[in-house]
Structure formats: C-alpha cells, structure tokens
Amino acid sequence: MSGVVRISAQLAWRNLWRNHRRTVIMLGAISIGAWAMIFLTALSQGMVTEMIRDGLSVLPGHVQVHQADFRDDPNITNYIPIPDSEIEARLASGDFTEWATRINVPAVITSERETRSVTLLGIDPEREKGFTFVELDTIDGRFLDDVADTGIVIGRRLAERLETEVGKRVVIMSQDVGNEVADRGFRIVGVYRASLTSYEDNYALIGKRTAQELLGVGDHVTEAVVMGDDYRDVSAERAEVESLFAGEDDVVINDWKELDRYLATTLSAMDGFVLIWVVIIFLALSFGLVNTLIMAVFERVREIGVMLALGMKPAAILWQIVIESMLLLALGLVIGNVLAWVSVLPIRDGIDISIVSDGLEMWGMSNRLVPDLRLRDVALANGVVIVLGFLASILPAWRASHYDPVEAITKVE
Amino acid sequence: MFLVLRLAWRNLWRQPKRTLLTTGAMVFSNVLLIFMISLQFGMYGLMIENGLKVFTGDLQVQAPGYKDDAKMRLTVPNVAGIAADVRAVDGLDAAARASAFALASSEDRTYGVAITGVEPDHEPEVSSLPGLVKEGRYLDAPDAPEIVIGRLLARNLKVGLGDELTLLGSGVDGSFAAAVVTVVGIFETGVPDIDRGMTAMPLEYFQDMFYLGDAGHMVVVTTPTLADVPAAMTAVATLLPAGEDLVVLDWDTLEPGLKQSIQADLSSAIFMYFILVVLVAFSVLNTQTMSVLERTREFGIVMSLGLKPGRLARLVLLESALMGIIGVVAGALVGGLVTGYFSVYGLTYPGLEEMAAQFNLPGVMRPRVTLVSLFSGPLVVMLFSVIASLYPAMRLYRLAPVDAMRAT
Amino acid sequence: MTAVRCVDLCKTYRQGDQDIKALDHVSIDIESGDFVCLSAPSGGGKTTLLNAIGGLDRPDSGEVWIAGERIDTLDKGELADLRLRRIGFVFQAYNLIPVLTARENIEFVMQMQGVPPAERRQKSEAILEEVGLGGMGGRRPAEMSGGQQQRVAVARAIVSQPELVLADEPTANLDSVNSRELIELFKTLNQRHGTTFVIATHDELVMKHARRLIRMLDGRIVDEINQDDA
C-alpha cells in the first residue's frame, strides 16, 4: 500500500506544478487569506486583551466579596458583616497572588470652585500597589502611605475639573453608617494618571482606616478582592474564596465575569468572532479552490482513465487529488503564517491608535493596540483551513475517482 | 457591440462550472458585504440617534471651554432668551439648560448626582428623556421645587413619588447651595449611567438655587436631520447676542467618541471587506488566466484573421464584467432579501444585549437597507474583478498568432 | 491452455435514439501465447470486445474468462486488481502519465504492485533497453516522439510480465516506420516471453503480422484466419 501512497503523493506534487500559473495564483489567494485570518485575529485579540486589562484594572479584583445587598445598593450601611481583621486573616491564609480589602462608596468632592461626584475608595496602599490602576511612576506628589494616611489622591482629569492641585484642600461628602452626611476636608497629596481618562475622572483614593473613621464603620469594609494568575480563568481562586467564606449568610462572592457582563461577553464573543472570520475567509477561498480542483481534474480526465485502466484503485485517484489540494493549502498556509508573523513582528510593542481614542474609550480601550498572536488562534485558523479544505476537495476528488475508465480514455481533448 | 457582448456571454458558458463557481464567489461576498454594511449602517444610525436624542441634541450653544470642563461659572447669559430666539427659526427646536453636581439625600441614603435645570415646556422637543418617565409625570411648572430622577437612583436612594430629597451643592459663586425638592417623576432610559446619575429640575428654580440669575450652561438645539446641522449652526451663530463670548458646537464636537468609535469600527470592517474583495479578485484572475490560456489557439486563429489584440483584451475584460454584473444582480437580490428579512424581524445573538448596552443600543439589531449598502460592496467587487483580469488581458498583446495557433 | 475465453457476449449501447449492438453473441477462445488481431471498421465492436476482455467494461450478457477465472462477475476493486497484476494495456495515444518520466511511467504499475525500489529500477532499466530506449528513462513524455512514447507504453504493459497484453489501435498515431517497429517489438516480446497479445486495429500492417486474425462487423465475428506463417 505504501507504494500506492508514494506514487499518489508524487503525482499530486508534480501535478501541482503542471499549471504553475494557476498554482501561483491560488497560492497567492490562500496566503493572503491565511495572513488576513491570523493578522486580524492577532489585532482583535490584542484589542480585547487591552480592553479587559483596562477594564479589570478599574474593577481591581478578579474575585470579589461583598455584602449581599451591596451591588444593588452600594451604600456604606451594606458593609461586610465580618470584621476586616478577620477577613484579612482569612485571605492571608489563602494561596493568592494578590488580595486586598477596601471601602468603596459613592461620594461628592468639592474644591474651592467645583463640585463633582466620585467613587471614594478607602484602601490599604501597601496591599494595592501591586495591581492598582493608578500609574504609580507618573504620579504627581505621592501615593498614599498607609491605611491611616489623612491625605487624598485624585485623578488628573478630576483635578483639572476641580481646578485644584497637589497641596490644596478638597471636601469629601458621603453618607455615614448612620445615614448622616459625613464630610471631612482632605489635603491632596497626589494626582495620578491612568490608562483610561474616565478613571481619572471617577476615582478618589484615601486610606482605609481614614475612610472607616469618616464613615463610622469601625473595623469593617465593603469589599474584599483577590487577584488570579490568569484573568481568563479564575475558577480556582473563586473556589478557594468560596471555601474561605463558606457558611457566611450575608456575603456574596462574584468573579469579574459576573461583575462586568460587558467585558465577559466581549471575551467570549471574541472567540466566536475569530471562528466566524476564519470560516468566512475560507469560504471565499473555497470557491477558487474547488474551481482549481475541478479544472485540474477536467484537464486530466484521460490520464485518470489510463491510471484506472492500469489498475489503480479509485481510492488512490481520490487520494491523489486530495493530496494535491492539501499540498496547495499547506504551502499557502505556510506562506500566510510567515507573512502574518512578519507583519506582527514590527508592531509587537503596539501601535498608536490615539487618533480615535475617544471612540475607543467608549469601548473601554486605551490608545495602544498591542497585537496578541496566540498559538491557539493560529492553530484554529490553520486547522479550519485544513479540515474544511479537505472536505471541499472530497467532491471533485470523488468525482475524478468515479470516472468510467473507458469513457475517460476515449475523451477527446 | 452587441455581437461582442454575445460572444463574451457564450464564452463564459463554455466552462459552466468554472463560471458558476467564480460568480458564486462573487455572490457569496456580495451577500456578505450587503448584509454587513447594512448592519453597520443600522448600528451607526442607532448609535447616533440614541447618543444624541436622549440628551445631547444636534448642536449646543455654550460658553467657550465648557465642553471640555463643565465648570459652573462658564455660563450662557439669558439662556432662556437665546433658546426662544433659536426656536423662532424655522425647523429648529431649542431648550435652555443649566447643570450642576450636588449631593442628594433621602431619609436613608445620600448620593452625588448630576442635576439639569430644564425648561419643562421645551425640553421634550430636544430630548427623549421626558418621554421616558415611567412613573409619575415630567416637570410642568418652571419654578416649582420638583425633581425627576432615574429608576436606579430612586432605588439607590430608596425614594418613590412624593418623597422629598435634600440637595446640597455649591452655587456659581462657590457659596453653599441647598434645596428641598419633591420627586414627581421617575424615568428609565435603560442606560445605567443615566438612570443612576441624572436628574432634572425646573430651570428657574435651579437658577435660584445655584444663584445663576438668568444664566444657564447651554442651549440645546435639534435639527430635522443631521444633514441640516451645518446650516443650523450658521443660523444659530447669527442669533447670539453681540459682545458675549459664546460658541456653537455640533454633535460631532460634543460627542467625539461617537464618531470616532464609528470610525474605528468602520476601519476594521473595511479591512475585512477589502480582504474579501481581494480574494474574489484572485478567483477571477485565476479563471480568466486559465480561460485565456485555453483559448490561445483560438485567439491565434482570429488574430491571424486580422483581429487586433486590443479587441480580444476587451473581450476578456467584458467577460469579467459580465460575471461581475451577474454577481451584482444576484448578490443584490439575495443580499437584499436576507438583509430585508432581518431589517424587519431583527437580529440578535447571545451576548449582544450586554455588548450593545455599552453603546446605548438595544439588544436587537436591524440592518438598514439602502441603495448605498446594497450596491457599494458589489460594485467594488465588480471593479476589482475587471482589474484582476487586466493581467490575462494584457498577455494577449504578447501573443504571436503563429505560435498561438501551434499551441495545444 | 486457454488464456481468454469469451462465451456468447452481448453489449448494446444507446447512441442518440438508436441502439447499437457493439457485441452480438460473440464467442472466442484465445490460446496462451497467441498473437491475435481483432480487426473491424470503426464501430465494429473490436474496442468493446477488448475492453470486456480487459475487465474495463462489463458485457450485458455472456461470460468472460481469463486463464480459467470468470471475470465478468468481479466487482470494481477486483477488476482493478486483475488489470494491475495480470493484464498489460497499450492505448491509442497519450496513454503515458505526462508528469512522470519514461522510467517512472514504467515503474508506475510495479509501484502499485508493491515491488521494492531496487527491483523496480533494475526491471525498468532492462525493459527500456529491450524496447530500444536505453538511456532515455529520464525523459518526460512531452520530450519524446510518438513512436518512443508508444514504446514506453509497451514497456510499461509488459514489465511486470502479465499473462495478457491488450492493445487498442496502438499504431493509429504513428507513421509507417514507427508502426512497423512497434509491431516488430510486439512480436519479439511475444516470442521471448510467451505473452499473449490481443491487438484491436484496422491497420493492415498489424493484421499482416497477426498469427490469428479475427474480423468483426457490426458486433459479430465474421471471419477468422490463422496465419501461422506470420
């Protein structure tokens, strides 16, 4: 049998180059198709990765613990009914990359000139330094020192809107645990930058202890968060947090996919998009592929007849055509993959797309697009082409193998 | 000419399978292009409409700098008067607004909110928000201590119709501003940010509370269609009081994200469309190169009879154009039907709702079939098909009749 | 021993709205080692008979036996195997595979039979020598004359030493010099290897060399001449 396979492969290869113009044109089409599949996928994946990274940075915490009503009613009265020290002890006992507890409440911030509404975060700066959306290296002034820091850190945009700066005072008003207005003056110790300007507008940070005092919640927080190693799959971290808080009635545990449906949907929709894109490109290619094969078979009817007459089995004829098609596809894929790699290489550090930055911010994206060439997507693109290409070749190949040798040999050119 | 056309047509059907497959590739791409372009038109249209109709309007009169930094003191003087002047222009609707941030407290809860002072009589003409009041009523008196708030805010504040809210903020001069108002209406737009953070109060009461006098922050203007915006801008500019420093801004300037997000989406879509078109062009290139090659002998004979290569080249191009026309017609037919179906019955898929909500869009998409969406893609495909067959057509010029006749 | 036995073969084709009797109750026996010529005008049924003997075509009725085995009842795969191992074919023209060289064309059948490469090589070289094409094994069909191509086809047909070689109008595309040489080659091979030859032709030159000449007309055998002197 190996003799038959060998001769089929040999014939397939030689036949491929018999009409080199046609083969080169088809190779061009397949290469461009494969390039487009992989290149666009890398860009899109890069976009989604960036989006999710930015999105998750403002929602720091892949798995979050809240009091049951907090998400509907983000009010300080809905604090987690477990003392903060106890929560910290539990999280510290777990095997997490990063974790933190914090207070997260809506507030109003007033400068000498302006009033704005903000989200007030009372944090433990030591714990959050590892994953905060605040770009620590470009901060004006300083970041918070510790949980008892009496200063406040706000975003650059907010500082502009409030016409204030480092060293000046602002007043924070929020609601305390007794439903009374709690207010307190803060000195701005730092003004931060973030990848998305909307963050700079929305988040003001103070020390956790200071926040607890302001809001009168004693040793309590509104949320506890845990960071996972890979944001794509945080099920292990989630399970561990669930076990740490097992038996607590008034506490809910969510992962980011539940907390931000938009990001989670985008992530899963992306996989669907990649598949659809690859299949569409393949379909556009398949017309040319089938066309080429039908023509190739058509031109060779007579010699196929001779091979059948000489005793070649129809199956061997079928394989010969299929192998020819697979060789064509494989060559095109190799070129396409190399092209894609070559075109991703010079932009692997990202391309500046700030020209449409306001629009991208609507999508939750920053100004840089770093292509994300993933083995899984490359394999998917190549796999789809090979599998569907195989299926598309079967019909012309099957027809070729079922010629009647007598009619085939006597066919007039 | 008619003869050439008939000849081209017959030539196409000498290899019916090949022609069918090539036109099949065209029809496939054309249907896809029509569907996608129509879908995008539908989406962009909705994005603009939803983005502008709820609140922003088509153009606004503001103090310079207010757009980038909505500061209390960047005011428009005699704001209601200017709005009235604009309303006098044929076709334009206008309403005056003022806005501020304040702390809103109910009995149990306190939240920071954005308050808009509106003219109850005119606001419904420029914004869809008044129509979205689901409980109670919209504002009616220009100076009553009343407020309408979003559904989510009402829930967060734990208030209902008739409950009172205490508002604390700072006035235009930095002084303390406070008021007690009654909730008379609750609206629901479906956009969480608006339903959670937006409130509206009568303009005059608002001006009293924040010590604005007759000043406000913007005059919102709507035009019959977006195409009327440039003309309306000129008209509005002439109405502005002399000596006051005011600017007229169109929607694109007010909501740069809207246009840019359409542009960003469009550019990645165009990349995809281009690839599709190129792949079809390759198909045509392949077919026509083969078809010319097969006919070398035949071409040699007619050339030796005195036919110029240019005529033959035109014949080859005409064949491609014919395939392109079949592609356009069949594509427009099938694409129009498929797209038309979805434009009536809508299209949705799992996850669309979450994604669409980010852009203030409903969870069901409706493609918009227009002449442009129906024919732009297919015509580009046809153009590229003809361009692709330039190569085989040009080869004819290098054909020597004697060699050609000998070819098998 | 009987190499080929046909019993009462019938085959009808439809052409347009007419039924054509290509084989009309044909019965023949061909002895092993014979050199038989089937001669008939175009449409006389000779190709149909040849195809029936070669297992390329199935008769409507009757029996075909090759070396004592009935073949008209075999399925497609078995027929392919029969052709591969026991019958050699030479067709009118263009019967080489254009992308393979002369040697590869000759080895093609052996390769499918699973003959090891070294043996294939040795056999193909020998047979190339034998048909007078020594040193031309590396050429592709397009680089050879019609006569040379037919020699390659003959070499391919006999290289694996089939019991039977069937040739359908092998000289139709050749001039008289090449035709004569091809016939000489057939006869030599017939005598040297004892291979049975059945040749369908209407070439007088070929008929003259046949040991047994069977004339057909309208699907019937009309005449049989033994030319032992040929």
Strand partners, B94: B221
Q: Using CA atoms, how far apart are residues B58 and A321, in angstroms rounded to an integer?
A: 62
Is the per-residue pLDDT at B394 higher than 60? yes
- Window B:30-49, CB contacts with A under 8 Å: 32
Residues ≥6 apart with Cβ < 8 Å to B247: B61, B62, B63, B64
pLDDT at A413 over 50: no
Considering only CB atoms, C80 lies closest to which of A1, A302, A313, namely A313
Q: DSSP string of C15-69?
A: ETTEEEEEEEEEEEEEETT-EEEEE-STTSSHHHHHHHHTTSS--SEEEEEETTE
Cβ–Cβ contact B77 with A under 8 A: no
Neighbouring subunits of A (3+ Cβ pairs under 8 A): B, C
Measured between beta carbons, which residues in chain B are less than 8 angstroms from residue A113?
71-73, 174
The answer to which of A399-413, B110-124, B147-161, C45-59 has the lowest mean pLDDT is A399-413
User: Six-digit token pair at C45?
Assistant: 């049924």
SS3 of residue A170 by DSSP: strand
Half-sphere exposure of residue B347: CA atoms within 13 angstroms, side-chain side: 17
Interchain proximity A313–C56, CB inside 8 Å: no
The answer to whether C112 and C147 have CB atoms below 8 angstroms apart is no
Please state, in angstroms and rounded to a whole number, the distance separating the CA atoms of residues C152 and A307: 15
Window from B119-128, B305-314, B386-395, C202-211 with minimum mean pLDDT? B305-314
* Secondary-structure percent of chain A, ordered helix, strand, coil, rounded to 5: 55, 15, 25
Mean pLDDT of B331-360: 82
Rounded CA gap, A216 and A212, in Å?
6
- In this complex, is the C-beta atom of C209 within 8 Å of any C-beta atom belonging to chain A? no
Q: Say if residue C116 is exposed, middle or buried (CB neighbours under 10 Å; 0-12, 13-18, 19+).
A: exposed
Put simply, whether C114 touches A (Cβ < 8 Å) is yes
Residues of B within 8 A of A114 (CB-CB) are 71-72, 101, 170
Of all residues in chain B, what percent carry a pLDDT higher than 70? 97
Residue window 127-166, chain A: list those with CB within 8 Å of chain B.
160-161, 163
Residue-level pLDDT at B95: 94
Q: Is B103 on the interface with A (CB under 8 A)?
A: yes
**Separation in Å, CA of A93 to nearest CA in chain B:** 35
Kindly state whether B56 is in contact with chain A, defined as any CB-CB distance less than 8 angstroms. Answer: no
Interface touch C82/A311, C-beta < 8 Å = yes
Interval A311-324: pLDDT, tens: 888 888 999 999 99
Encoded tokens for A315: 């199956």
Give the model's pLDDT for residue A365.
64
CB atoms within 10 A of CB B298: 14
Q: What is the distance in angstroms between the Cα of B221 and the nearest Cα belonging to chain A? A: 23
**Per-residue model confidence as pLDDT tens digits over B163-222:** 999 998 888 888 888 999 999 999 987 777 788 889 999 999 999 999 999 999 999 999
B110-148: burial string, b at 16+ Cβ within 10 Å, e else: bbbbbbbbbbbebbbbbbebbebbeebebbeebebbbbb
Verify whether the Cβ–Cβ distance A362 to B258 is below 8 Å.
yes
Name all chains with 3 or more CB-CB pairs below 8 Å to chain C: A
| Residue in B113, B170, B282 closest to A110 by CB | B170
Q: In Å, how far are A35, B4, B309, B404, B407 from B302, measured between CA atoms?
A: 42, 14, 10, 10, 14
- C98 at interface of A, judged by CB pairs closer than 8 A: yes
Partner residue facing A14 (CB), from C56, C99, C114: C99
What is the structure's pLDDT at A216? 92
**What residue in A sits closest to C162 (Cα-Cα)?**
A310
Q: What values do phi and psi take at B61, rounded to 5?
A: -105, 125
Nearest 5°: the CA angle C153, C159, C162 is 100
Across the interface, do A359 and B24 touch by the CB < 8 Å criterion? no
User: Which residue of chain A comes nearest to B253, CA vs CA?
Assistant: A358
Q: How far, in Å, CA of A177 to CA of A187, rounded?
A: 23
Residues of A in contact with B267 (CB under 8 A): 356
DSSP class of C93: S
CB contact under 8 A, B105 and A175: yes
B175 touches chain A (CB under 8 A): no
Q: Which residue has the higher pLDDT, A264 or B122?
A: B122
The tokens of C218 are what? 């309208």
pLDDT band at B7 (very low <50, low <70, confident <90, very high): confident
Structure tokens at B117: 């002072």
Is any Cβ of chain B less than 8 angstroms from the Cβ of A74? yes
- Residues A44 and A51: their CA atoms lie apart, in Å, by 10
Per DSSP, which regions of chain C are E strands?
Answer: 2-15, 18-31, 35-39, 61-66, 69-70, 87-90, 164-168, 196-201, 212-217, 220-226
Q: What is the pLDDT of residue B328?
A: 93
Residue whose C-alpha is closest to residue C158's, from C207, C123, C118: C123
Q: If you write DSSP's letter for every residue of A283-333 in order, what string do you get?
A: HHHHHHHHHHHHHHHHHTHHHHHHHHHTT--HHHHHHHHHHHHHHHHHHHH
φ, ψ dihedrals at A254, nearest 5°: -130, 150
Inform me whether the pLDDT recorded for B402 exceeds 80.
no
Which parts of A59-179 fold into alpha helices (H)? 84-93, 125-128, 156-162
Cβ distance of B22 and A287 shorter than 8 Å: yes
Residue contact C81–A311, C-beta within 8 A: yes
Greatest CA span in chain A, whole angstroms? 100
CB-based contacts of B377, cutoff 8 Å, min separation 6: B29, B30, B33, B34, B37, B273, B331
Q: Which of A106, A113, A359 sits opposite B174 (nearest CB)?
A: A113
A207 Ramachandran zone, left/alpha/beta (phi>0; psi -120 to 50): beta
3+ Cβ–Cβ pairs closer than 8 Å linking A and C:
yes
Structure tokens at A355: 């020209």
Our CA dihedral for B115, B118, B124, B127, rounded to 10 degrees, sits at -50
Distant-in-sequence, close-in-space partners of A225: CB < 8 Å, separation ≥ 6: A60, A61, A62, A63, A64, A65, A99, A100, A101, A102
The answer to whether the beta carbons of residues B130 and B227 sit under 8 Å apart is no
- Candidates A22, A106, A265; nearest CB to B351: A265
> Could you report the per-residue pLDDT of B274-328, keeping only the tens digit for each?
999 999 999 999 888 888 888 888 888 888 877 888 888 888 999 999 999 999 9
Q: For chain A, give the mean pLDDT.
A: 87
**Relative orientation angle of helices C102-113 and C117-130, to the nearest 10 degrees:** 130
This prediction has a pTM of: 0.80
User: Is residue A1's pLDDT more than 60?
Assistant: no
* Window 29-68 of A, Cβ < 8 Å to B: 29, 32-33, 36, 40, 43-44
Instruction: Report pLDDT for A362.
Output: 64
Tell me whether A263 touches chain B (CB under 8 Å): no
List per-block mean pLDDT (blocks of 10 residues) for chain C, which spans 230 residues. Answer: 89 83 90 91 85 89 91 88 88 82 90 89 91 89 90 89 90 87 90 91 88 90 79
In the numeric block, the tokens 């036949």 are attached to: A15
Residues A311, C111: C-beta atoms closer than 8 Å: no
Gyration radius of chain B's alpha carbons: 31
- Would you state the pLDDT for residue B214? 92
Q: What is d(CA A240, CA A253) in angstroms, rounded to the nearest whole number?
A: 11
Sheet of strand C196-201: strand arrangement: C87-90, C164-168, C196-201, C35-39, C212-217, C220-226
φ and ψ at A367, to 5 degrees? -85, -5
Closest among A105, A109, A206 to A157, alpha carbons compared = A109
Q: Which residues lie across from A205 on neighbouring strands? A: A121, A153
- CA dist., res. C48 & res. C57, Å (int): 8
Q: Which residues of A touch C87 (CB under 8 A)?
A: 311
Q: What is the pLDDT of residue C202?
A: 86
The beta-carbon neighbor of A405 closest among C56, C85, C98 is C56
The answer to whether the Cβ–Cβ distance between A310 and C113 falls below 8 Å is no
Q: Hey, is the C-beta of A117 within 8 angstroms of any chain B C-beta?
A: yes
Alpha helix segments (H runs only) across A204-255? 208-215, 235-244
Six token digits for residue B205? 């009461």
Look-up of token digits 């979205």? B132
Alpha carbon of A17: minimum distance to chain C alpha carbons (Å)? 9
Residue A362, min C-alpha distance to chain B (Å)? 6
Is the Cβ of A261 closer than 8 Å to some Cβ of chain B? yes
The nearest alpha carbon in chain B to A44 belongs to: B268
Option in A18, A306, A314 nearest C95 (CB): A306
Mutation target among B75, B291, B292, B354 for the A interface, most CBs of A within 10 A: B354
What does pLDDT average to over chain B?
A: 87
- Does residue B104 have a pLDDT over 80? yes
A405 to chain C nearest CA, in Å?
7
Question: A133 with A57: CB under 8 angstroms?
Answer: yes
Q: Which residue of A has its CA nearest to C47?
A: A406
Q: Residue C73 carries which DSSP code? A: T
Q: Which of A:177-216 have CB within 8 Å of B?
A: 179, 181
**Which residues in chain C have Cβ-Cβ distances shorter than 8 Å to A1?**
114
List the Cα angle C112/C115/C118 in 5-degree steps.
130
Q: How many CB pairs under 8 A join A and B?
A: 189
Q: A118, B24: Cβ pair inside 8 Å?
A: no
The sign one gets for the Cα dihedral B179, B182, B186, B187 is: negative
Among A123-132, A283-292, B116-125, the range scoring the smallest mean pLDDT is A123-132
Nearest to A288 among B158, B264, B286 (CB): B286
Please tell me which of A42-51, A356-365, B66-75, C122-131 the model is most confident about, judged by mean pLDDT. C122-131
